[in-house]
Amino acid sequence: MAVTSPEVKKALEVIFAADSDIYQTRGFQRRIGYGERPALVIIDLANAWTRPGHAFTCDDMEVIIPTNQALLKAARAKRIPVIYTTTAYQDPKGPRSDTGMWSRKIPVETLLEGSEAAAIDERIAPEEGEMVIVKKSASAFYGTNLNAYLHAQRVDTVILTGVTMAGCVRHTTEDAIAGGFRPIVVREGVGDRVPGVVEWNLFDIDAKFGDVEPVEKVLEYLEGIEAFTNR
């Protein structure tokens, strides 16, 4: 959760209270709930986002990293699918760049495939058999095999963490529900660069696209499910 000043938090509370009234009277903010076969999808917690000194550096890693460590421990104990994403490009500065139009908006030229910047943070490093998707766009689903992989694993629930809340996490959440999955966004496991962005997007996602849940409830859910088998 990005650091937000008390003044901003107070203003957001007033706004969210009024917005909640509007949503609830119109039938929004329903709960999608947990399913039976979850996967953990960790979005862009690579060094360019988790370490200082990068254009993409996000705040609150002192909360986000331990949250993801706890989720990984619980997920691995139940052998559920764990998927990481990073965003990187083969030729970000050359004449055949695969950055697409995104390079006209943000400094994607700093994200080279195979570089240290694009590598998953070693504090939450993937273990053998855990998928790492190198994506080119915001959503973990767009242009990747994530949807097919999750369906092949008979996953019905995607537990989502990572950065950025206003971009890659949000778009992955929207594509998850569009693809027939139950999105669960872990409140303490997500972040961004701009104060206020996390809180607003969590509120809006919880109203329309998925359930925002505290890490304690997600860990309790994982503790209560059966371990995955190959059948």
Q: Which tops the pLDDT comparison, 70 or 3?
A: 70
Quick check: is 231 in a domain?
Answer: no
Question: Is pLDDT above 60 for 140?
Answer: yes
155 Cβ neighbours under 8 A, 6+ residues apart: 37, 38, 39, 81, 181
The confidence score (pLDDT) of residue 65 equals 98
Question: Is pLDDT above 50 for 9?
Answer: yes
The confidence score (pLDDT) of residue 38 equals 98
Question: Is pLDDT above 70 for 3?
Answer: no
Question: Is pLDDT above 70 for 14?
Answer: no
Question: Is pLDDT above 60 for 2?
Answer: no
The token duo for 84 is: 């990481």
Percent of the chain topping pLDDT 90: 77
Quick check: is 230 in a domain?
Answer: no
Quick check: is 76 in a domain?
Answer: yes
Residue 31 burial (CB count, 10 A): 10
> DSSP letters of the chain?
-----HHHHHHHHHHHHHHHHHHHHTT--------SSEEEEEES-BHHHHSTTSTT--S-HHHHHHHHHHHHHHHHHTT--EEEEEE-BSSTTSTT-S-GGGGGTS-GGG-BTTSTTTSBPGGGPPPTT-EEEEESSSSSSTTSSHHHHHHHTT--EEEEEEE-IIIIIHHHHHHHHHTT-EEEEEEEEEE-SSTTHHHHHHHHHHHHT-EEE-HHHHHHHHHHSPPP---
Q: Is the pTM of this model over 0.85?
A: yes
Report the CATH number at residue 122.
3.40.50.850
Question: Is pLDDT above 90 for 7?
Answer: no
Quick check: is 229 in a domain?
Answer: no
Quick check: is 217 in a domain?
Answer: yes
Task: For residue range 60-112, list pLDDT tens digits in order.
Answer: 999 999 999 999 999 999 999 999 999 999 987 778 889 989 989 999 999 99
The confidence score (pLDDT) of residue 82 equals 98
The confidence score (pLDDT) of residue 1 equals 42
The confidence score (pLDDT) of residue 26 equals 76
Tell me, what amino acid is at 173? Answer: T
Quick check: is 137 in a domain?
Answer: yes
The confidence score (pLDDT) of residue 15 equals 65
The domain total for the chain is 1
The confidence score (pLDDT) of residue 225 equals 96
Task: For residue range 183-193, list pLDDT tens digits in order.
Answer: 999 999 999 99
Strand 182-191, strand 82-87: pairing: unpaired
The confidence score (pLDDT) of residue 154 equals 96
Catalytic center residues: 168
Quick check: is 158 in a domain?
Answer: yes
Quick check: is 74 in a domain?
Answer: yes
> Which residue range is the domain that position 75 belongs to?
6-26+35-224
Task: For residue range 151-174, list pLDDT tens digits in order.
Answer: 999 999 999 999 999 999 999 999
Task: For residue range 22-32, list pLDDT tens digits in order.
Answer: 777 777 778 99
